[in-house]
Amino acid sequence: MLEPILALVVLFGILWAAVYSGTKAALREFYAEIEDDIAPKEEEE
């Protein structure tokens, strides 16, 4: 009875970890682009 529940929990944990790490990487790239847009304007002049 417990085995299918355990399998679901493990599956959900793997899925959540993949989504979480993917989201974190995407956010990091997004913030890096914003910083690149803001910072170089002072350096160019």
Which tens digits make up the pLDDT trace of 1-13?
Answer: 889 999 999 999 9
- Give the DSSP H or E segment for 42: helix 40-44
pLDDT at 8: 95
pLDDT at 23 over 60: yes
pLDDT at 34 over 70: yes
Domain housing 30: 2-36
pLDDT at 41: 60
Domain count, the chain: 1
pLDDT at 38: 74
Does 42 map to a domain?
no
Calpha distance 8→14 (Å, rounded): 10
Which residue is associated with the tokens 């790490």?
A: 21
pLDDT at 40 over 80: no
* Structure tokens that stand for 9 in this block: 């929990």
